[in-house]
Amino acid sequence: MTPRERSFAAWLQAHRRSVLFLMLLLVLGGIYSALRMPVSLFPAIAFPRVVVYLDAGDRPASQMELEVTRVVERALRGVPKVTAISSATSRGSADVDVRFNWGTDMPRAVLQVEAALNQVLPRLPAGTHFEVHRMDPTKFPVLAYSLTSTHLSQVQLRDIARYQLVPLLSSVQGVRHIGVMGGQTAEYRVTVDPARLAALGLSMGDVERALTAANIIRAVGRLQAHYKLFLLLSDTRFKDLAEIRHTVLRTGKDGVVTLDDVATVRLATRPQWITVTANGHQAVLVTVYQQLGGNTVAIDRAIQARLKSIEPRLPADLHIHQWYNQSGLILDSAGSVRDAIILGVVFATLVLFIFLRNWKLTLIALLVVPGVLAAASALLYALGMSFNIMTLGGMAAAVGLIIDDVIVMLEHLVRRLIQQGHGPRTVLDAAREFTQPLAGSSTATVIIFVPLAFLSGVTGAFFKALALTMATSLVISFLFAWLALPLIAARLLGPKDAQHDAGGRITRATQQIYRRLMQGLMRRPLWLLAGLIPLLVAGAISFEHVPSGFMPQMNEGGFVLDYQTPPGTSLAETDRLLDQVAHILRTTPQVDTWSRRTGTQLGGGVTEANQGDFFVRLKSPRGQQAVMDRIARRIHDDVPGLTVQDMNQPMQDLIGDLTGSPRPVVIRLFGDDWQQLVKLAPKVAARIRQIRGLKEVQDGLVIAGDALNIRVDRIKAALEGLTPAEVTAQLDAYLSGVVTTHIQQGQQVIGVRVWTSSALRSSRARIERLLLRAPDGHLVPLSRIATIRRVTGVPEITRYNLKPMVAVSARIEGRGYGGAIADVRQALATPGLLPKHVYYTLGGLYKQQQIAFHALGVVFVAAAALLFLALLFQYERFRVALAIISAPLLAVFGVFTGLWIAGQTLNITALMGMTMILGIVTEVAIFYFSELVLLSASLPSAEALIEAGVNRLRPIAMTTLAAILALLPLALGIGQGSAMQQPLAVAIIAGLAVQMPLVLIAVPVIFSRVLHGKPEELLS
């Protein structure tokens, strides 16, 4: 042993107490950090997307597109780092979707978008206003409750939610916003009789002005008297219904005309065109949105505690029911990962005990592995990370690699202890001897995560957290295996352990078989092809047949069902159809509860009255896809007239909304003639609907409901003394009502709406008979100065990067992305389908998948290059580096075979596992060459190559088996939330399954016979 090695052993022996105490502090700090770390479903991700909502009143879609949308698009195109702009324009409103580069400072980008809009606002039609929303994971609620009652009105339910629950829950730490949806809002309804108004020579405008003037509070001055300063207020506010009724409209020689002479006044509700239910009953929904980086589990506990505290003060008939709880999925996922970690540690320690038959070594492993994970938690906490599905999955996947470090170090210590006998520093000297291979192997596994730091897009957003967790765990694992483990082993292992034979007949027989096999291969290296060719062929066939996907699909125990009825369907008719859907849900045994929105969405966006969504929570996540398919079939068969647009699980729905690519297949059709695109889209949809595996095909045309267009004849109106603006104002008052003033009552402000009786506006004919008042007082029927024409609903005008575009989309079921998209391309190439000057691009999740695959391909190549550099730096021999790197590259073929056999898709999680295999197999190959270095000084070349494999046969078998067993719970998808890491675990296990023969058989033959390497090279 060199003086350097002896000095290290002496130093470690002298500082053993401080080293062990440092490790203990890391473990205790990790436990403390784990208890304080925020817990959420996703990592804190800044999605580079902003949505602008524009409202310019009621105007045709074509006019809205020309006067508003195009102007805004051009203004936003100049905002720095904008990559794409898409828009959808309908009657009087438009949504503009602005995409930025990943890594953009999004708070700053939002301010820049608002600045650009404010600059262009004076050029837009009067009354245009906008809202800017940044897209991030907090868009989706983390908790949701329904309020129902058999006696309380919808107004009372909404008031309880707004004025009692919202203030109570908003102050919970980590809560960003409390949303209230559904119910009704109270208002005072002044229903005017036009005949009485006409008889008294009054107009609707007179009523509006009188109400506004009678309900005032205003400071009129100050008074200084009696050593005080008084504020003088003129207060004529309404206090009750009686004061509203007695509002004076006119005085004169004929007496006083009050409001109740021409109208009835009552307490009513604000008109609305949305419906919200829970389990088939009218309800008010309360949704909780967390701040970015908030602790979902802590928020859930605090919300539940506060609801329990207010329960005695709420009406006894009020029922508060939770219909969504994201923390449940998080806790279930954490529990599954915890179970996977425990099972992995138990399996690995059993392997250790079976091979080494020493309970002391088993105890050491049981202590070190949880200690490493705890210490890693401290580092993650210091980096500002949270426990989420990615970090927890990273810890579970890291268990097998941590066990590797523990096993190889313990096996080396025991082997040296048996060979050299027990001594005061035998164990520590053996640890120093193993420092270089342990450091090299740890570098090989950690270095593959370096390229992930430069990964962008959805893949980088999600998998940086997993990569950082695993890299952190592996660094901590190296420190524990290098410093703590030898000290603990030196303390526990005694002279009896040095006399213990950890081998056995099976081990010796296996080693003898290995010797004979390698001796034959060294003489005839071409025999190696008998093993490599089947591996390569099987991998190539599997690569062609394994389906491709984007992200794994998790069974979350719930799903979102988006629906629509034919354009123009009334809210009442839509409700009737949805009652049938509610019956289907009620009679499905697996359904626990559900909520429904019509005219609005779960995320809060406003839609047409014929669109909306259900959120359905199941009793168990098992067999979720089959339940979803069965419900979709029943709706298709039993509810004609209602179309299911999408059925996604919440996380999948959220990721699709955040990325703006909610569906796998999106065909963007571009052309200069908008009407041509409108006619073409249904033809393209019909053509791709014939492709196997494409479901819920949509032509991308969102048709607004029919409209009655009231066209004022300017000349006829002028002859009656009316202007078009005056006609429009009177029609607005007749048909929509005008909120003229507001009355404060307690915590709320109630509007006063002046309207006409619904009987006067219940049909087209009655609207034509409406009497308008001219300035001179005479009455004019609407039909005299205007015509009413029915306008069939027109589609939204959609654009992408300033060019007209229609997006035909579909969902893929039962096959991979690659095969489905190939068929789509073939279908679009059908002669005569696409006219001249019309072209298409593919978007959606398929495009996101291609971007992710390309990025991960670059990461794979970069990781392989860095590994080769590290090997070259460690050995300074190209032959050695080439021989070692050949093993992980060949193992990739085994990964494809494993994914195909396991029925997994080749998605970004599987590609992550494939990249990790590079480091894992390289690590084992380094251990082989470290043994070869030691033996090459005393044995001939051929014998050293074989004996190095003999010595490493047992530890490699132990690490391989232990890692496979540690990852097995994840690979089997045991527990909720494990599906995200399942393809990664399958990919790693598949690579591990072929690593032993590759490292112990293929690498020695390739090094000595193909590359003509000599073990003696390693000594220099």
Would you say residue 594 has pLDDT above 80?
yes
Distance CA 41, CA 666 (A): 27
pLDDT confidence of 1019, banded at 50, 70, 90?
A: low
What integer best gives the mean pLDDT of the chain? 87
What is the pLDDT at residue 1007? 85
What is the pLDDT at residue 50? 92
Biggest alpha carbon–alpha carbon distance for the chain: 130
What is the pLDDT at residue 975? 63
Phi then psi for residue 754, to 5 deg, are -95, 125
What does the block give as tokens for 321?
């029911």
Q: What is the DSSP letter of 804?
A: E
What is the pLDDT at residue 1018? 62
Q: What is the DSSP letter of 572?
A: H
Encode 163-186: b = buried (16+ Cβ within 10 Å), e = exposed.
eebeeebeebebbeebebbbbbbb
Cβ neighbours around 903 below 10 Å, total: 9
What is the pLDDT at residue 537? 94
Distances (CA, A) of 19 to 26, 372, 425, 429, 471: 11, 15, 16, 17, 22
What is the pLDDT at residue 448? 86
Beta-strand pair 558-564/643-648: antiparallel
Would you say residue 309 has pLDDT above 70?
yes
Distance CA 281, CA 149 (A): 9
Contact 331, 557 (CB under 8 A): no
H or E stretch at 917: helix 908-935
Would you say residue 476 has pLDDT above 80?
yes
What does the block give as tokens for 746?
């307690």
Give the range among 182-186, 675-679, 969-973, 1004-1008 with minimum mean pLDDT: 969-973
Residue with the bigger pLDDT between 9 and 42: it is: 42
Computed on alpha carbons and rounded to an integer, the radius of gyration of the chain in Å comes to 36
Sorted by sequence, the CB contacts under 8 Å of residue 725 that are 6+ apart come out as: none
Residue among 143, 174, 146, 172 at smallest CA distance from 158: 146
**Mean per-residue pLDDT for 191-217?**
90
Q: Is 357 exposed, middle or buried (0-12, 13-18, 19+ CB in 10 A)?
A: middle
Residue with the bigger pLDDT between 581 and 364: it is: 581
Q: Is 198 exposed, middle or buried (0-12, 13-18, 19+ CB in 10 A)?
A: middle
Would you say residue 604 has pLDDT above 70?
no
Contact 377, 30 (CB under 8 A): yes
For residue 630, the SS3 value is helix
For residue 216, the SS3 value is coil
Q: In this predicted model, what pLDDT tens digit does every residue of 966-978 receive, in sequence order? A: 888 888 877 666 6
Distances (CA, A) of 813 to 816, 852, 853: 8, 21, 20
Q: In this predicted model, what pLDDT tens digit does every residue of 795-850 receive, in sequence order? A: 889 999 999 999 999 988 888 888 899 999 999 999 989 998 899 999 888 888 88
Distance CA 684, CA 696 (A): 14
Would you say residue 14 has pLDDT above 80?
no
Sorted by sequence, the CB contacts under 8 Å of residue 662 that are 6+ apart come out as: 646, 648, 653, 656, 844, 845
Would you say residue 503 has pLDDT above 90?
no
Would you say residue 502 has pLDDT above 80?
no
Would you say residue 1 has pLDDT above 60?
no
Torsion of CA 421, 423, 428, 432, to 10 degrees: -60
Phi then psi for residue 78, to 5 deg, are -90, -5
> Sign (positive/negative) of CA torsion 461, 467, 472, 473?
positive
| Residue 728, Ramachandran bin (φ over 0: left; ψ between -120 and 50: alpha; else beta) | alpha
Q: In this predicted model, what pLDDT tens digit does every residue of 622-666 receive, in sequence order? A: 888 889 989 999 999 999 989 888 888 877 777 777 776 678 899
H or E stretch at 83: strand 82-90
Residue among 81, 83, 76 at smallest CA distance from 52: 76
Distance CA 259, CA 247 (A): 5
For residue 124, the SS3 value is coil
Which neighbouring-strand residues pair with 189?
Answer: 266, 753
Which neighbouring-strand residues pair with 223?
Answer: 230
What does the block give as tokens for 923?
């690590």
Encode 904-931: b = buried (16+ Cβ within 10 Å), e = exposed.
bbbbbbbbbbbbbbbbbbbbbbbbbbbb
Domains contained in the chain, CATH given: 1-28+358-502 (1.20.1640.10), 49-134 (3.30.70.1430), 504-554+844-1019 (1.20.1640.10)
Give the range among 187-191, 324-328, 426-430 with minimum mean pLDDT: 426-430
Distance CA 144, CA 460 (A): 30
Distance CA 1006, CA 1004 (A): 6
**Mean per-residue pLDDT for 448-463?**
79
* Percent of the chain whose pLDDT exceeds 90: 39
What is the pLDDT at residue 498? 64
What is the pLDDT at residue 666? 92
CA atoms within 13 A on the CB side of 679: 8
Residue among 793, 829, 869 at smallest CA distance from 91: 793
Distance CA 318, CA 312 (A): 11
**Mean per-residue pLDDT for 671-692?**
92
* Percent of the chain whose pLDDT exceeds 70: 96
Distances (CA, A) of 703 to 596, 657, 689, 708: 22, 21, 20, 15
Distance CA 842, CA 800 (A): 13
SS (H, E, C) 679-699: HHHHHHHHHHCCCCCEEEEEC
What is the pLDDT at residue 111? 94
What is the pLDDT at residue 74? 94
